[in-house]
Structure 1
């Protein structure tokens, strides 16, 4: 059973925030990562976090122009924040499998590599690497 949508901005302020840096295996704890490296994902985006959380039935909001205070890189790919509703107005959980912020972050990190955008990118990258590797070997032979 999914939570009802938040009715007012004050309700939305109670949503917890998840920044992509929290799930990024390229970041250290000091740089903002909040889950173990072994479970983290390479360069997740706020849109990907939103996608996996909304599929499971969580009430989510994407704020594209927000950034983590520890993020020094101002590129567009590092921007964004996802607001997730864990509890209803009466304090009861929206979904029992997500009792905490950490449980949502671990779930998102587990599901992001399975997204179609991630699996299609790896297939295209493998094809583009093969011609590039051949040209590197030829350069080595000429020397």
Structure 2
């Protein structure tokens, strides 16, 4: 994870992604920016960071809260370097903030931590049905 100093923080090259932007449990008025069908359930800042780091993007996490977010559980935002100093894209597949958000929303459900959580919930549900 890269941390930037004030000298190399060129805000035009970095974009912010808050978890609320891709949370399907939020309404557009609450800050969601992509369609709820493409969004993910309750994403965490660390998950966004992990997905973008694995994609080879330069990211860092800030301890900030979205102005419309009331739940401290979803605290944090991820800053992602979208463009290089010369203005060219860091990666051709990510030409905009929307491309980043759609990619992250698609990849978070594939994380091992998410798969383990869902597997545990399925096992718990089976046990509860058997015990009835």
**By how many angstroms is 1:110 displaced?**
0.6
**By how many angstroms is 1:90 displaced?**
1.5
User: For residue 117 of structure 1, what is the aligned residue in structure 2?
Assistant: 113
User: For residue 23 of structure 1, what is the aligned residue in structure 2?
Assistant: 22
**By how many angstroms is 1:80 displaced?**
1.1
More helix by share: 1
**By how many angstroms is 1:134 displaced?**
4.8
What is the Cα-based RMSD across aligned positions, in Å? 1.7
* TM-score with structure 2 setting the length: 0.89
Aligned residues: 129
Q: Does the CA-based 8 Å contact 2:3-2:60 persist in structure 1?
A: no
Q: Closer, same or farther in 2 for the Cα pair 1:67/1:128, shift >3 Å?
A: same
* TM-score with structure 1 setting the length: 0.83
Structure label with greater radius of gyration: 1
Q: Closer, same or farther in 2 for the Cα pair 1:7/1:125, shift >3 Å?
A: closer
Gaps of 5+ in 2: none
User: For residue 141 of structure 1, what is the aligned residue in structure 2?
Assistant: none
Q: Does the CA-based 8 Å contact 1:16-1:85 persist in structure 2?
A: yes
Give the distance between the partners of 1:7 and 1:82, measured in 2 at CA: 12
Gaps of 5+ in 1: 138-143
